[in-house]
Amino acid sequence: MTHHNKPLAANGLTSYRYATAHSYVMIGATCIGDALQQAALSTQSPQVENLEIWDAEQGCYQPASY
């Protein structure tokens, strides 16, 4: 399993990944809003449509939504 296909967040945070034109930005955050703020450090005007959240039950990332 590649790094961008598994959860990488520190203990106590939720794993998110943000899709950019070339790769994923891996994010550990407390909520979707926090994840988008973290994504803004790496890309301009992040959109929730490009954000995915780790689903431990499914063992994969799923689209994030408010």
Q: How confident is the model at residue 66 (pLDDT cuts 50, 70, 90)?
A: confident
Provide the whole-model pTM. 0.91
Q: Supply the pLDDT for residue 6.
A: 87
The domain total for the chain is 1
Q: Supply the pLDDT for residue 1.
A: 65
Angle at 59 between CA 64 and CA 54, to 5 degrees: 25
Q: pLDDT tens digits for 8-63? A: 999 999 999 999 999 999 999 999 999 999 999 999 999 999 999 999 999 999 99
Give me the domain span that covers residue 45.
3-63
